[in-house]
Amino acid sequence: MATRVFIPTPLRAYTENRSEVPVEASDVQSALDALVAQHPELRRHLFDDAGALRSFVNVYLNDDDIRYLSAGRIAIGEHDVISIIPAIAGGLAA
């Protein structure tokens, strides 16, 4: 079953400007692995050298942050959607 992974605008340069990428996977970690297998340049933006998800990258399964679920081995259902949301910082101090 193909699961849709939504790609944020800053990372679309590494997915041929695609806003979503379908992947075949049974759990979130497998979906992310399949995503970087299709688009290898994404790996350094999503994962650190040890293979852990970077702290400034948030991944959601539907509306749930996977960090608060049971790590990455969360089963994916037929209509589930994975979203990658990079943390944004900056602005002017008041």
Which residues does the chain have with pLDDT short of 50?
none
CATH superfamily of 2-86: Beta-grasp domain (3.10.20.30)
The closest of 29, 27, 32, 26 to 5, measured between CA atoms, is: 32
Pairing assessment for the beta strands 57-61 and 81-86 based on DSSP bridges: antiparallel
- Domains of the chain by residue range: 2-86
Q: What is the pTM of this model?
A: 0.85
Task: Write the DSSP assignment of 68-82 as a string of letters.
Answer: GSSTT--B--TT-EE
Q: What is the pLDDT of residues 60-87, one digit of tens each?
A: 999 998 887 765 578 898 789 999 998 8
